[in-house]
Structure 1
Amino acid sequence: MAETTTVARPYARAAFEHAKGKKSGLKKWSELLTVLATVVHDTAMQAAISSPALSFEDKAGLVLDVCRATVGDKAVSEDFVNFVRLLAENRRLETVTEIAALYEMLKAEAEKSIKAEVRSAFELDDAQKAKIAEALKQRLQRDVDVDVVVDESLLGGAIIRAGDVVIDGSARGQLAKFATALRQ
């Protein structure tokens, strides 16, 4: 995976730098890259992309046709078309998922925002979500968007993931820490 990320990084950076210079470019490119990643991730599309019988122009055209059908002709800019053609020519369409993920990280960094996933044993109400978001905002110095996933296997508590930060406040995690301490 590290190799794929290394290959994807310059494309993500180039897309980000290009989009940053355009009005509403970051959001538009985010949407287009998400659609592109979804299109390329499709099993039938993966077979077409990896086919040696198709030229890179054919592969790019096929991918772009599906993208246009998804978001509309006017939403797909000439710059994006050129980007997809470049990916196809350099045999990098397979890395689009990583490109999109790296782009989102660059976008979040520029916007000083981060998504946090809260895995909780129980559903959280709006006040609890707001309290977690505020605490994370203080700690990370960013705006925080909280997504809650109910995971009954945790027994109690929650696990919070925001970027590289992981806070394990689950009952299972606390018991594991306690067991480790007892063994020492």
Structure 2
Amino acid sequence: MSDARVQGYAKALFEVARAEGTLDEVEDELFRFARSYESSDELRTALSDEGIPAAKRQAIIEDLLGGKATSTTTQLVSMVVGAGRARELPAIIDKLVARASSSKNLAVAEVRSAVPLTDDQQARLKAALANATGSEVNLKIVVDPSIIGGLVATVGDTVIDGSVRTRVDQLKSRL
């Protein structure tokens, strides 16, 4: 899909969420859904298989998100999947997150952690990243057990890697 089309979908989803007054919540739910979608071969296959009727793919979305996400989030994901654009969901959602952050003068900070972070840890991390980058950040946490421990933070083109996995790899390369 062209970047213009991805941007168009992102803008449309952004405007719907903003009009509903649920932009912050929907943005966060969509971000988490996109990361789940990317990490599950089975989900990607089920939602992007054009051989499966659109109504069935949309029913999968209802089953997955119904009651666990706002109705706006569920409807937006269902609309994109029903339009046959499931493969582009992560790109569309990432553009929406960037647009929402930009509208609040924030930089997107995607942080990968081996375990969920407490509210206090998130607040301290947000402050540290703001200090390190010079920009207030919209913190997006992805739990990624392959990190083993520590964190990997990406803000724009800046990557701050304090993961145990990277340190172990660095030690291996020295041996």
Cα drift, residue 34 of structure 1:
2.1
Residue 135 of structure 1: CA displacement? 6.5
**What's the RMSD between the two structures over aligned residues?**
3.6
Q: CA deviation at 1:161?
A: 6.2
Number of matched residues? Answer: 136
Matched, 1:82 2:82: no
**What is the TM-score when the length of structure 2 is the normalising length?**
0.59
Change (3 A) 1:65 1:130: closer
CA drift at 1:67: 2.0
Q: 1:28 aligns with which of 25, 36, 44?
A: 25
The one of 7, 10, 13 equivalent to 1:12 is 10
In structure 1, list runs of 5 or more residues that go unmatched: 119-126, 148-159, 168-184
- State the TM-score, normalizing by the size of structure 1: 0.57
Q: Which residue identity does 1:8 align to in structure 2?
A: V
The equivalent residue for 1:104 is: 97
CA distance in 1, matches of 2:154, 2:37: 27
Post-superposition CA distance 1:2-55 (Å, at most 9, x none): x454332111111111222333x1211112212431443311122222334411
Question: Identical aligned pairs, as a percentage?
Answer: 20
The aligned counterpart of 1:62 is: 60
Cα distance in 1 between the residues matched to 2:31 and 2:127: 27
Q: 1:39–1:117: structure 2 CA closer, same or farther, 3 Å change rule? A: closer
Which residue identity lines up with residue 70 of structure 2 in the other structure? V
Q: Which runs of 5+ in 2 are unaligned?
A: 112-123, 141-152, 160-175
